[in-house]
Amino acid sequence: MTLFDLSGKTAVVTGGTRGIGLMMARGLLDAGARVYISSRKPAACAAAAAELAQYGTVAAIPADLSTEDECLRLAREVGEREQALNILVNNAGATWAAPLEEFPAAAWDKVVDLNLKAPFFLTRAFLPLLEAGGTHDDPARVINVGSIDGLHVPSLPTYSYSASKAGLHHLTRVLARDLGPRQITVNAVAPGPFESKMMAATLQEFGDEITRSTPLRRIGRPDDMAGVAVYLSSRAGAYVNGAVIPVDGGLATTL
């Protein structure tokens, strides 16, 4: 068994049909894991599963994770197929931008429900499977996908998004303390700019400026996100718990 080998492990990646979730799912498959992806739209699930099948064993279960009932259903359906879960990636998310004077209450509910409440409800729903998948030397892993906008003040008026991601970072630490004794680690990654549907408009308008302001002078690539997912999921990351890891080329951490 190599340091980054995930053979024999089972993972669930929410929001796994596009963007960062798709990047992570592919990385986990490449490392040998069996992966379940989930997102709200059945057609997107089917298309992503077909795309990912060339890299390993993948299945798709559509779910609208903005509600606790759907979080419970996803865990139940995975539990009908698996006796244990080794890796849970809480990636499904939403954003919203509007001027302060116009920012609607609905934007807070939509964004916080999916970005902050869903990771909590999903982790709780999957606890029996995660406990079955973790050992003292090789814990089960929960990976929450935050954002550098939860580490610094963003330039865009994404009030509920940045607040929800900062909250998710701290929830990660709280859960890491509570679940560590149960042989489950909880960590977060805080991505910077990556090619994704959520970032498409921002990159189109500000892409050159963002690239110039990043010490590495580029935006993130799929392998950058796949790599951190494999690291945190593998033996290499078995002693990492309660960490929030920026994956941003130094954009937020060197401002």
Question: Where does 50-177 show beta strands of DSSP type E?
Answer: 58-60, 87-90, 140-145
Residue 152 clears pLDDT 70, i.e. is over it: yes
Q: How far is CA 190 from CA 15, 24, 92, 118, in A?
A: 16, 13, 14, 17
Q: Distance between CA atoms of 234 and 236, rounded to whole angstroms?
A: 5
- Phi, psi for residue 14 in degrees, rounded to 5: -85, 155
Q: Distance between CA atoms of 62 and 86, rounded to whole angstroms?
A: 20
CB neighbours of 127 closer than 8 A, spacing ≥ 6?
A: 179, 182, 184
Q: What is the pLDDT of residue 51?
A: 96
Question: Which residue of the set 36, 161, 231, 239 is catalytic?
Answer: 161
Average pLDDT on 127-148 reads 97
Average pLDDT on 133-140 reads 97
Q: Distance between CA atoms of 42 and 139, rounded to whole angstroms?
A: 32
Give catalytic status of residue 239 as yes or no.
Answer: no
Encode pLDDT of 82-101 as tens digits.
999 999 999 999 999 999 99
Q: What is the pLDDT of residue 213?
A: 74
Q: Judge contact between 149 and 165, C-beta under 8 A.
A: yes
Encode pLDDT of 100-118 as tens digits.
999 999 999 999 999 999 9
pTM, 2 dp: 0.93
Residues paired with 140 in a beta bridge: 184
Domains along the sequence of the chain with CATH? 10-247 (3.40.50.720)
Encode pLDDT of 190-249 as tens digits.
998 887 666 656 666 666 777 777 887 877 899 999 999 999 999 999 999 999 999 998
Average pLDDT on 20-47 reads 97
Helices 159-179 and 105-112: angle between axes, nearest 10 degrees: 30
